[in-house]
């Protein structure tokens, strides 16, 4: 049955795009025939080559997920001490700093696009600071020029967590061409998925070499292991799927753009509901559709979240709670919420609405009606309207 035609269907925040199984079978037959399942086999190699082309990047190293991509970039950057970062992200961002034995140093975000505020970075730098880990949150480009200028002045490494930024173009070119490293996630919930997967984009061949050594236990060759590494390789199955998904990406992006356009029309003019504008000179990938539920709206964000569930819409509070409030980070000197007023407010007001390629217009209209409806009028899922 088509999505949207049954009253018992829950609509989740996302639904992955999958190609026809028929398209995948020949690739699986190839894997079955040659029995190379992993360890940087032929599909892995082809996927990296095609990603280099598509992402306009010279050095792409695929990984088994976006979190280990962050781990690999941090290891390759040989960072020490403190890392300036945003508290407004998915938990993997801050955890990757802590897991490397480094200290996160939180800096507030900009109200315009929720990326780290470069005007706050310089004052936060201490003699222990060696890097900036910024996030292109929802695919919104960080202020890459200002960040690079600060990094150059203070000799800091720049890593972009670009988990949300696959295929995003900024000022006519790939957003992933900035910084020393950028990391991607190809998780099922992303605009481009390989079920699980990720990648590190390195600015230099030397950086790429270190990332790739990390990916394979630190091996350089059979008997040379100069550094500590993990096993963060992508399997041949995921790489083959990635090659196939790449063929469909632009069509999926077009479909998502249409869903985004409809939301902007349907939600315009609701008092207390703010949508984030698409930033200038950006070609987005439309992975998320965040709204802010302002105090002027007649329900709180959490009330609206529950209210929408009553209508069968499972929106998500990406990103709440703020990472600086988590038990392992909240005692850090940089974590005080008086130092992070913008991020604190945004985390309290954010709600990401369902966003995926084949979200139907009928469902979007129902969702917009539910946002307009009274709290008392919520109907349990499955009850005929
Ligand atoms: N950096 C940033 C900025 C990130 O946002 C992320 C991940 C990372 C780093 C780390 O990358 P990875 O290591 O994950 O590659 C999800 C994702 O698991 C996570 O990848 C993502 N960010 C984060 C923002 O969201 P959950 O726990 O909210 O996902 P879950 O399982 O509740 O899924 C949401 C909805 O999607 C479900 O209600 C239904 C739908 N769904 C989900 C899955 C997994 C499907 O339809 N099919 C599926 O297979 O974390």
Question: What is the distance in A from the centroid of ligand 1 to the CA of 105?
Answer: 25
Q: Which pLDDT belongs to residue 7?
A: 45
The class (CATH top level) of 7-15+249-377 is alpha beta
Measured in Å, residue 290 CA sits from the centre of ligand 1 at: 15
Sign of CA dihedral 319, 239, 96, 75: negative
**Distance, CA of 225 to CA of 216 (rounded, Å):** 10
Q: How far apart are CA 69 and CA 276, in angstroms?
A: 28
pLDDT for 337 equals: 85
For ligand 1, atom 42, the nearest C-alpha belongs to 189
Topology at the third CATH level for domain 21-108+116-245: 3.40.640
| Distance between Cα 230 and ligand 1 center (Å) | 23
Every domain of the chain and the residues it spans: 7-15+249-377, 21-108+116-245
In the reported structure, the alpha carbon of residue 189 is separated from the centroid of ligand 1 by a whole-number distance in angstroms of 5
Check: CB of residue 357 under 8 Å from CB of residue 191: no
Cis peptide upstream of residue 350 (ω within 30 degrees of 0):
no
User: Which tens digits make up the pLDDT trace of 321-364?
Assistant: 999 999 999 999 999 989 999 999 999 999 999 999 999 999 99
Omega before residue 335 within 30° of 0, cis: no
Q: Measuring CA to CA, which residue among 374, 341, 350 is closest to residue 273?
A: 350
**Angle subtended at Cα 142 by Cα 13 and Cα 124, rounded to the nearest 5 degrees:** 115
What six digits make up the tokens of 2? 């088509």
- Tell whether omega for the bond before 177 is within 30 degrees of 0, i.e. cis: no
Residues with Cβ within 8 Å of residue 167, at least 6 apart in sequence: 54, 55, 191, 192, 249, 253, 285
Which ligand 1 atom is nearest residue 186's CA? Answer: 15
Residue 96 Cα: closest atom of ligand 1: 9
Ligand 1 center–CA 314 separation, angstroms: 14
Q: What is the pLDDT of residue 377?
A: 61
Question: Which residues of the chain fall short of a pLDDT of 70?
Answer: 1-8, 375-385
Q: Are 73 and 67 in contact (CB under 8 A)?
A: no
Structure tokens at 101: 């034995």
* Residues 77/179, Cβ–Cβ less than 8 Å: no
Q: How far is the CA of 196 from the centre of ligand 1 (A)?
A: 10
Give the pocket of ligand 1 (CB within 6 Å): 12-16, 65-67, 89-90, 92-93, 135, 161, 163-164, 185, 187-189, 198, 314, 318
**Which ligand 1 atom is nearest residue 316's CA?**
28
pTM confidence score:
0.96
User: Considering all CA atoms of the chain, what is the largest pairwise distance in Å, rounded to the nearest integer?
Assistant: 69
> What pLDDT sits at residue 384?
37
Residue with tokens 């295929």: 167
């Amino acid at each position: 049955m088509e999505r949207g035609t049954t009253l018992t269907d829950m609509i989740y925040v996302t639904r992955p795009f999958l190609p026809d199984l028929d398209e995948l079978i020949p690739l699986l037959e190839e894997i079955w025939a040659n029995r190379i399942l992993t360890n940087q086999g032929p599909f892995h190699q082809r996927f990296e080559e095609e990603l280099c082309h598509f992402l306009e990047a010279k050095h792409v190293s695929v990984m088994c997920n976006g979190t280990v991509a962050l781990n690999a970039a941090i290891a390759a950057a040989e960072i020490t001490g403190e890392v300036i970062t945003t508290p407004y992200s998915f938990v993997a961002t801050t955890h990757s700093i802590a897991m490397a034995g480094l200290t996160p140093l939180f800096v507030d975000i900009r109200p315009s696009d929720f990326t780290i505020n470069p005007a706050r970075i310089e004052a936060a730098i201490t003699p222990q600071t060696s890097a900036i880990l910024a996030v292109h949150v929802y695919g919104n480009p960080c202020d890459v020029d200002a960040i690079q200028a600060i990094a150059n002045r203070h000799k800091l490494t720049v890593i972009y967590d670009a988990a949300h930024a696959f295929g995003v173009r900024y000022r006519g070119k790939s957003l992933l061409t900035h910084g020393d490293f950028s990391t991607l996630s190809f998780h099922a919930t992303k605009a481009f998925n390989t079920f699980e997967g990720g990648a590190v984009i390195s600015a230099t061949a030397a950086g790429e070499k270190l990332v790739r050594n990390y990916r394979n236990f630190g091996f350089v060759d059979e008997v040379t292991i100069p550094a500590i590494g993990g096993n963060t390789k992508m399997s041949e199955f995921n790489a083959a799927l990635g090659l196939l998904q790449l063929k469909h990406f632009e069509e999926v992006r077009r479909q998502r753009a249409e869903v985004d356009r409809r939301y902007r029309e349907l939600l315009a003019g609701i008092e207390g509901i703010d949508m984030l504008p698409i930033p200038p000179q950006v070609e987005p990938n439309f992975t998320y559709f965040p709204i802010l539920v302002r105090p002027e709206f007649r329900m709180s964000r959490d009330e609206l979240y529950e209210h929408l569930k009553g209508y069968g819409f499972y929106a998500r509070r990406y990103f709440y709670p703020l990472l600086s409030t988590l038990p392992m980070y909240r005692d850090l000197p940089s974590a005080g919420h008086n130092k992070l007023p913008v991020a604190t407010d945004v985390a309290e007001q954010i709600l990401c609405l369902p966003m995926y390629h084949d979200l139907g217009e009928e469902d979007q209209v129902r969702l917009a009606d539910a946002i307009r409806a009274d709290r008392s009028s919520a109907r349990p899922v499955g009850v005929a309207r």
